[in-house]
Amino acid sequence: MLNIMRLGEWFQLTVPLEWEGKTVTGIFRDVWEAPKKLTHTFRMEQKVLINGDRANWNIPLVEGSKLQMKLFEEEIIEIIPNYIEIDILFEDDHLLIINKPPFMNTHPNDPNRDQDTLVNAVQFYLQSKGEDRNIRQVHRLDRDTSGAILFAKHALAGAIMDNMLLKRKMKRTYLALVHGVVKPRKGIINKPIGRDRHHPTKRRVSLTGQDATTHYIVVKEDKEKQQSYLKCWLDTGRTHQIRVHLSYLGHALIGDTLYGGKPIVKRQALHAAKLEFTHPFTEEYIVCHAPFLDKPVIFKDIDIYSL
């Protein structure tokens, strides 16, 4: 774990032994894989210091030096804040993980008219703490899907986490309740997903679609009700991926009427149960479990911390 400290608008990191000999350019490019445009902004606006002095981006770093970056500036707020109670699973100066309730959009489709989304609620929370910065959504969940969702509190964190998501350095584990007893009990669904020409929002397995891979394991069966509880995780992040793949397998999500599920419950029975990644600024391995929020309970007698 790295030695870090916040100093007002500045973030300070003590250079570890494994960074000795690397340059600031190398840290931004190779360690954090930050976008060139954002890196250029930090360089031109002198937002990086070494031991309090303007950084030379091409001189090798020395173990124990203080790398300081201006990460926590005030910003012009772009999202209208709205008070809605949120369930926080993890928070530090850089990242925020929320347990999203079902029946809530992640972000507004129309920023001026749609203000009852999770992004609006998180923006209110951030400003209520005196943090006048735009919250950055790293990934999304469907309106009816509940569970862990990640936000970044500043531009560098947002860019790093976006790249980690793209490069599959973040693991998202879901719990799904589906129709039928699934055989085999463990498998990989590797089928491309594309748009359905006959429906504006629906997706389908399509030879011309984007590559998509879903892993699953049966964690519990209810043979009397002909239902299965599946642990799922993704190598890709296509729209409706789990819903499409499980429907293609012949085991649609319960409640997912768009993809052939029966309305036994009020929503598609899908929950983002666990989120895992290595924190880019502390190197700590973060594991967040999201407790179930449904009343009445959908996922019965499942230990969320065993997934």
Active site amino acids: 142
59: number of CA atoms within 13 Å, CB side?
A: 9
The rounded distance, in Å, linking the Cα atoms of 62 and 290 is 40
Q: What are phi and psi of 48, to 5 degrees?
A: -130, 130
Nearest-angstrom CA–CA distance, 195 and 207: 11
DSSP the chain: ---EEEETTEEEEEPPGGGTT--HHHIIIIIS---HHHHHHHHHTT-EEETTEE--TTSPP-TT-EEEEE--------S--------EEEE-SSEEEEEEPSS--SS-SSTTT---SHHHHHHHHHHHTT--S--EE-S---TT-EEEEEEESSHHHHHHHHHHHHTT-SEEEEEEEEES--SSSEEEEE--EEE-TTSSS-EEE-TTSB--EEEEEEEEEETTTTEEEEEEEESS--TTHHHHHHHHTT-PBTT-GGGT--TTSSS--EEEEEEEEE-TTT-PEEEEE-----SS-SSTT--GGG-
